Amino acid sequence: MDTLGKRAIATACGLACTVLSIPASATVTYTSPGSFAIASVVNDNVLINHTQAIVTLQSNGRVQGLDTLSPVYREAAVRVQRGTLEMTGNTRVIAGLNQSGIEMTTSDHSDVRIGGRAAVHGNIKADFAVIWTDEATATQRLYLQETGVVSGDVTFGGFVRLQDQAVVSGTIRGAMNANLRLDMVGGFVGGSVSLGGLDNHMVNMSGGTIAGSLGGAPSYVEINISGGYIRQGLRSSGAYDGVIRGGYIDGGVAITNYVAGGSNLTVRGGRFETTASDWLFALTEQYSDNSPSTLKVCGGQFGYYEPGTGVLIDGKTNLQVYGAGLTYSGGVLSGTLQDGSPINVALTFGPSWTGTFTITPVAVGKPTC
């Protein structure tokens, strides 16, 4: 450290916390347990590589990554191989040329928390994740909160939570051969949430805005949408299981299932709109196995402002609708859904449809499908 002209001073965080002011140009490493704080400018790459190392950027701390002329895999201004990075206050991580802002690719545990008015100028990447089942067991975890900003894309395998007024200016995508769970209770995604790779993903959305679309290439996705706004629709060629109980999906829903197992989707609420020439809600089972897709509808507001060409059911897909006074006549489904929402939309069964269509009379009240 001395040969690089590094100066350490004790701060109010206690003797176990070190604050660095580093004008040097070699990688700064944290490979021992403890709490460390960076409150000044580091013109260098930072590596965190200990499960009990907690590095906090605070005050006006900044890490300026080093340019590299030849892109190198896992090259980043801050690489969290093991341990924790926390960004608070008005701190910054700035990627150099051919770098990610933060890289978290590891088979061990790494956490990153971006809050306050902190910002990452560059992409965040974690493209490896061993099998995990929930937040507690995820090997990589990313928390975006308060008014933290990521000026770039997030390519991730692991757990991501977006809340408050936090922003990802680009796209959130699942890394290849890695599972992504996104919990979105607030915040803003400037691009899309793109899931694919024939991997297993999960999206829990109760707030916030996705300015692009939710969906992507063939994969297996479990969803629970109870709030928030998706501006350009849910559009995917994967299998979707779960419940839509609230929120606003503009741009329509178009799921064409090209993977084994089929989709099993329940709509209990929410608002759905589209464009004049597009489907409002389309579910098509295209995979040639014996597992049909199933859509259950007992609530929701369908096309009150712009219904487009209505609802499309095609392939081996079953449609079950629950409500009072429901009829299907002249290609139009009308009546009252179980949650009390009126429905009056065109319903088309495509040329390859081989499923079933049932209307189940139930009293108006709390959706139970």
Cβ(198)–Cβ(177) under 8 Å?
A: no
Alpha-carbon distances, residue 160 vs 126, 168, 296 (angstroms): 11, 12, 29
pLDDT of the residue at 71:
73
Same domain for 62 and 172, yes or no, is yes
In the numeric block, which tokens belong to residue 264? Answer: 């099993």
Same domain, 162 and 38: yes
291 C-beta neighbours (distance < 10 Å), count? 16
Which of 122, 121, 157 is CA-nearest to residue 142? 157
Contact 283, 312 (CB under 8 A): yes
Domain hosting residue 236, numbered range: 205-369
Query: What is the C-alpha to C-alpha distance for residues 86 and 322, in angstroms, rounded to an integer?
Result: 48
100 within domain boundaries: yes
Q: What would the pLDDT profile of 52-91 be if each residue is shown by its tens digit?
A: 999 999 998 999 999 988 777 778 999 999 999 999 999 9
Same domain, 69 and 171: yes
Residue 119 to residue 54: CA distance in whole angstroms: 18
Does residue 13 fall inside a structural domain?
no
Q: Which residues contact 74 (CB under 8 A, 6 or more apart)?
A: 103, 105
| Number of compact structural domains in the chain | 2
Quote the CA–CA distance of 360 and 324 in Å, as a whole number. 8
Residue 3, domain member (yes or no)? no
| 274 & 313 share domain | yes
pLDDT for 160 equals 97
Say what the pLDDT of residue 131 is.
Answer: 65
pLDDT score recorded for residue 279: 97
Place of tokens 């712009």: 306
Model pLDDT, residue 2: 31
Tell whether 270 and 296 lie within a shared domain: yes
Helix (H, G, I), strand (E, B) or coil at 270: strand
Contact 353, 318 (CB under 8 A): no
Which residues, given as ranges, of the chain have pLDDT below 70? 1-26, 129-131
For 58-95, give one letter per residue: b (16+ CB within 10 A) or e: bbebbbbbbeeeeeeeebbbbbbbbbbbbbbbebbbbb
Compute the distance between CA of residue 76 and CA of residue 181 in angstroms, rounded to an integer: 23
| Burial bucket for residue 284 (CB in 10 Å: 0-12, 13-18, 19+) | buried
Q: Three-class SS of residue 189?
A: strand
113 with 163, same domain? yes
Contact call for residues 195 and 221 (beta carbons, < 8 A): yes
Q: Alpha-carbon distance 107 to 83, whole Å?
A: 12
pLDDT at position 9, please? 28
Task: Give the CA dihedral 21, 27, 31, 36, nearest 10 degrees.
Answer: 20
pLDDT in the model for residue 342:
98
Distance in angstroms (rounded) separating the CA atoms of residues 45 and 101: 10
pTM over 0.85: yes
Q: Are residues 247 and 324 in the same domain?
A: yes
Contact 197, 220 (CB under 8 A): no
304-322: string of b/e by CB count within 10 Å (b at 16+)? eeebbbbbbbbbbbbbbbb
Residues 226 and 144 both lie in one domain? no
131 & 210 share domain? no
Residues 56/37, Cβ–Cβ less than 8 Å:
yes
Give the per-residue pLDDT at 132: 73
In a domain, 126, yes or no: yes
Same-domain pairing of 318 and 349 = yes
Distance of CA 41 to the CA centre of its chain: 31
